[in-house]
């Protein structure tokens, strides 16, 4: 692992595949021009809208999303993480999938979101992700990147389940990637707190690309794509506008924090 710049992109995706991919390419270009070598896209980067419409177009969205990630990685010669996007499964449902792609367009790691967002919020909005998504049944793997360190993937609602990240840190994770479309109602109170907690308790960097703004008349995302260091310090915050949170991942800083706070070595229960 060496020092490198990472970008957590922030989008306002809508129910328009081609518009979303054009927006994503603009932000990838912006991030690369600012020196990012690892670029991460938020959950639902390619489509965010009515769930019935997503299911109806799932095969098209899936193929376009994967083709886009591979093409962009090759075109800009960067490592890309995109997810989740729908991958058709059985019984008319999909997996909410995150993908890690190398600069030569090769798939390095795939993760199917395990924890599904089935929640009735006090603001009147109801989310039932399990209506169209099948939960992944495998704990996420860690990808050993020579340049970028040990990378662990997750998606959005996973961030509320610390045991998943403990598994990743036990597998050697140094950088945790959490692409999300956090609601404004929950995000204003919990988003940064949860991201900091996952960084601190696992002494890992956290990269959290995000959705922001209104996607339709009711659904609003919190924004604040972030990069957080292993001590819990926010290195970059994209605010609420479309853009990118860009910061340096530094192995010396990671080693320093783990020396100062060697809590991973003090675990009793596994």
Integer Cα distance of 59 and 88 in angstroms = 6
Check pLDDT > 80 for residue 168. Answer: yes
pLDDT value of position 121: 85
Is 146 designated active site?
no
For residue 204, indicate whether it is catalytic: no
What's the Rg (C-alpha) of the chain?
17
Q: Which of 37, 43, 112, 184 is catalytic?
A: 43
pLDDT value of residue 90: 86
What per-residue confidence (pLDDT) applies to 267? Answer: 92
Q: What is the mean pLDDT of residues 73-102?
A: 96
pLDDT at 183 exceeding the cut of 90: yes
Residue 50 has a pLDDT of: 84
**What mean pLDDT comes out for the span 165-169?**
97
**Considering 54, 70, 113, 196, which one is annotated as catalytic?**
113
Are the beta carbons of 141 and 3 closer than 8 angstroms?
Answer: no
* Domain containing residue 93: 4-266
Per the annotation, the verdict on 241 as an active-site residue is no
The total number of structural domains in the chain stands at 1
Tally the C-alpha atoms within 13 A of residue 18's C-alpha that lie toward its C-beta.
Answer: 0
What pLDDT digit, counting tens, does each position of 12-65 carry? 999 999 999 999 999 999 999 999 999 999 999 999 988 888 999 999 999 999
- Average pLDDT estimate for 136-162: 96
Indicate which residue of 37, 54, 156, 196 is catalytic.
Answer: 156
pLDDT band at residue 200 using 50, 70 and 90 as cut-offs = very high
Query: Across the chain, what does the average pLDDT equal?
Result: 96
What pLDDT is attached to residue 176? 98
Q: Is the pLDDT of residue 220 over 90?
A: no
pLDDT score, position 85: 97
- Over range 115-138, report the average pLDDT: 90
List helix spans (H) across 126-170: 162-170
pTM metric for this prediction: 0.96
Tokens of 259: 């020396």
CATH number, domain containing residue 59: 3.60.110.10
d(CA 223, CA 210): 6
């Amino acid at each position: 692992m060496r020092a490198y710049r990472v970008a957590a992109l922030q989008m306002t995706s809508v129910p328009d595949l081609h518009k979303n991919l054009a927006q994503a390419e603009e932000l990838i270009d912006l991030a690369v021009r600012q020196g990012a070598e690892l670029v991460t896209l938020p959950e639902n980067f390619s489509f965010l809208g009515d769930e019935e419409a997503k299911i109806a177009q799932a095969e098209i969205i899936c193929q376009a999303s994967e083709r886009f990630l591979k093409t962009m990685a090759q075109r800009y010669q960067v490592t890309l993480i995109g997810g989740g996007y729908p991958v058709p499964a059985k019984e008319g449902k999909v997996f909410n999938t995150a993908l890690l792609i190398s600069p030569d367009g090769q798939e390095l790691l795939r993760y199917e979101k395990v924890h599904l967002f089935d929640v009735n919020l006090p603001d009147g909005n109801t989310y039932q992700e399990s209506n169209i998504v099948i939960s992944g049944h495998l704990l996420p793997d860690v990808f050993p990147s020579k340049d970028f360190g040990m990378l662990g993937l997750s998606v959005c609602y996973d961030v509320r389940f610390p045991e998943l990240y403990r598994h990743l840190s036990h597998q050697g994770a140094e950088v945790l990637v959490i692409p999300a479309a956090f609601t404004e109602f929950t995000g204003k109170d919990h988003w940064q707190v949860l991201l900091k907690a996952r960084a601190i308790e696992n002494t890992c960097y956290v990269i959290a690309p995000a959705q922001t703004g209104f996607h339709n008349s009711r659904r609003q995302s919190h924004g604040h794509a972030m990069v957080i260091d292993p001590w819990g310090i926010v290195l970059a915050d994209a605010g609420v506008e479309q853009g990118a949170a860009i910061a340096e991942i530094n192995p010396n800083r990671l080693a320093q924090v783990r020396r100062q706070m060697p809590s991973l070595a003090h675990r009793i229960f596994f």
